Amino acid sequence: MRAFDDDRVQTVRLTIPAKPEFIGLGRLALSGLVRLHAGPLPDEVVADLKLALTEACTNAVRHAYDGGEGLVDITYELHPDRLVVEVADDGEGFDLDPTPSTAGDDELVEGGLGIAIIRALADELQISGREQGGSTLRFVKNLPVAAH
């Protein structure tokens, strides 16, 4: 018997320090949560979800606090048909310009691809500022619905 015998939403909230070494905790929580899905997810889907989460958390860690102290809040909502992930911080805010910076004609500046990666892996992506400061990045991945 799996966790979804009805249409309930499984929600997990995790707060991590804004340091690279804590991003793995977010990946572990994601791995555990997707096991509750009514049907097994293909390894490629799980890997894509982990990559999108890693990119979202890395953006918050790198850009929100400019190397200072801070927290990153991760909320996972597992629905029978989709996973919604929100990564939020109270830091400096996010440059909402989706155009990556370029250096010269052929060379991308280090970084700047995280949002493009998430956009390619997710079915929906929203980035917004927070009233109290900081940013929220929300992505949605549609999941196969298991037959009952």
Domain annotation covers residue 5: no
Number of separate domains in the chain: 1
CA 60/CA 132 separation, integer angstroms: 16
Residue 78 lies in a domain: yes
As a whole number of angstroms, the distance between CA 129 and CA 35 comes to 31
> Three-state SS string across the chain, please?
CCCCCCCCCEEEEEEEECCHHHHHHHHHHHHHHHCCCCCCCCHHHHHHHHHHHHHHHHHHHHHHCCCCCCEEEEEEEECCCEEEEEEEECCCCCCCCCCCCEECCCEECCCCCHHHHHHHHCCEEEEEECCCCCEEEEEEEECCCCCC
Q: What's the mean pLDDT when you consider all of the chain?
A: 84
Taking a C-beta distance cutoff of 8 angstroms, is the pair 16, 51 a contact? no
CATH number at residue 57: 3.30.565.10
* pLDDT tens, residue by residue, 17-61: 999 999 999 999 999 999 998 888 999 999 999 999 999 999 999
- Residue 72 is assigned to a structural domain of this protein: yes
Q: Check residues 77 and 1 and name the one with the higher pLDDT.
A: 77
pTM here?
0.83
Q: Which two tokens stand for residue 3?
A: 């966790």
Q: What is the domain extent for residue 68?
A: 10-142
The pLDDT value recorded for residue 3 is: 47
pLDDT tens-digit profile of 8-23? 899 999 999 999 999 9
Q: Is residue 85 part of a domain?
A: yes
Inside any domain, residue 23: yes
Read off the pLDDT of residues 122-144 as tens digits, 9 standing for 90 and up. 999 999 988 888 999 999 999 98
Q: Over pLDDT 70: what percentage of the chain?
A: 80
